[in-house]
A and B are shown apart, each in its own frame.
Chain A
Amino acid sequence: MTAAGLGLPGLDFAVLDAYWPVILAGLWTTVRLCGASILLGLAVGLGVELLRARVRRAAPLCRVYVEFFRGSPILIQLFLLYYAGPGIGITLDPEAAGVVGLGLYGGAYFAEIFRSGFEAIPRGQLEAAACLGMPPLRALLRIELPQMAALVLPPAVNQSIILIKDSAVLSIITVPELTKQTSRIINETFTIAEPLLVLAALYWLLVTGLSAAGAALEARLTRHLNPSRKTS
């Protein structure tokens, strides 16, 4: 790619030619760590919400968790985990700290998303299940979770997109992800504009791709709710 080809004066993307493997490795690390943190966040969020709603004693603790992780910036949570963790016996390498940090942060948001999902399911369904002698666990697995999954898909995809963008801050605790690798290139080549523009474009592609995938999945999962498909 040349500057003339892009119509941008003064830009020369040729400097990046030697660095594409580094950039792609960073991109892969970002994708891998984000995937892990989103899964961790979903698991933590679901666990916290189930505890909050079903175990009375645990409810205040769950509220404190959600308030703390939603109320403070992800960067300071990462600092606490990575720099203060060793003081209380938690020693994690940067990648693990990143996944745990992003996962706990996302978990607080996912818990609230799951809460609204559970609350949207009519109580009558659970009462009917109980009348039919269905044990609560089976009602949860067969009646609540499948419906909730379709309901929470759009906000959960949104939250995942936010987590991908927030994963850029992992560069600050030295995780070799996309942003960190790009800063390395800036320092090695003394070029600023080209690496930063490529960095921005790659994040935009990731986010826009996930958003499109989410919309497609949502359309599939909610086909049965689409009134135009009614036969009568």
Chain B
Amino acid sequence: MSHVPDFSIAVAHLPALLQGAAVTLGVSLASIVAGLGVGMAVCLCRISRRRPLAWAARAFISALRGIPILVLLLIVFYMLPLAGIELPPVAAAIIALSLNSGAFQAEIYRGGFASIPPGQAEAARALGMGEGRILRRILIPQVLVRVLPSLVNELIMLLKNSSLTSAITVVELLRASQQVVAATYRPTEIYLTAALLYVVMNTGLSALGGMVRARLAGRGRVTA
């Protein structure tokens, strides 16, 4: 059962695929932003001098990095209802992806904090600044600028991982293409088109990452 690929079918269903791609982008962006909050909080615990906090953060990072995202998605999707929390699939997807991304982002931020000369915080302390304000005004802004390239990489990973949310019925690009395949019986054309859409989105993001990197290198004196 061999057939000649006919991409006019893919073109005809492009609107459905693009709609899926929009969901993919939306879920990924929401998860990276939520992951930023999770990651920063976990990172601050991880580098905190309070032992139990640091230990809990370590356990969180180890667990969330050691569990496949598909398994994490199943856990969030099926176990939250057991606790009486009913969530739409998209919300469960964003929670699972941002928890996973948060664990990776925490390690990215840890590197960011380590790269800032300790003299800055010491100087701020000598001037009488409180610890919270030192974090908000001095450390975190610089850390975020420094880790931007890594965050773009993380977003690319998230974009690809978001395809797994199709397993919990989120109609993102992959599930949209599954639906089109079910209607047209043309897996070759549709899945190839969807794969190319992913490649295009990721190439765009990685070009963006290159620009960010070049920009940061240009103002090296300010950030270094």
Residue positions of A touching B, CB distance < 8 A: 67-68, 70-77, 79-80, 83-84, 86-89, 165-169, 171-172, 179, 183, 186, 192-193, 196-197, 199-200, 203-204, 207-208
Contact = CB atoms under 8 A, between A and B. Distances in A.
Pairs A-B, 7 closest by C-beta atoms:
A73-B163, A71-B199, A168-B68, A204-B66, A84-B188, A84-B187, A165-B68
Contacts of A75: 163-164, 166, 174
Contact of A67 (B2, B68, B71, B199): B199
Given A76-B174, A88-B188, A165-B68, 6 more contacts: A80-B191, A87-B188, A172-B70, A179-B71, A179-B74, A200-B63
B90 to A, nearest CB: 18
Interface string B162-181: 01101100000010011001
Contacts of A70: 202
B71 A199 contact: yes
A204 B67 contact: yes
Contacts of A208: 62, 66
B191 A200 contact: no
A200 B67 contact: yes
Interface stretch (B75-83, B112-120, B132-140): B75-83
A87 B74 CA distance: 32
A196 B164 CA distance: 17
B71 A200 contact: yes
A73 B194 CA distance: 10
A211 to B, nearest CB: 8
Contact of B174 (A73, A166, A192, A207): A73
Interface of B: 1-3, 62-63, 65-72, 74-75, 78-79, 82, 160-161, 163-164, 166-167, 174, 177-178, 181, 187-188, 191-192, 194-196, 198-199, 202-203
A144 to B, nearest CB: 28
- Contact residues of B: prevailing secondary structure: helix
B181 A83 contact: yes
A98 to B, nearest CB: 14
B191 A84 contact: yes
A205 B150 CA distance: 27
Q: Which of A68, A87, A88, A192 has the most CB of B within 10 A?
A: A87
B201 to A, nearest CB: 8
Nearest to A191: B82
B75 A207 contact: no
A17 to B, nearest CB: 21
A66 to B, nearest CB: 11
B163 A84 contact: no
A70 B202 CA distance: 9
Nearest to B205: A71
Contact of A171 (B70, B72, B188, B196): B70
B182 to A, nearest CB: 11
A199 B70 CA distance: 11
Query: Which of A73, A77, A89, A166 has most chain B Cβ within 10 Å?
Result: A73
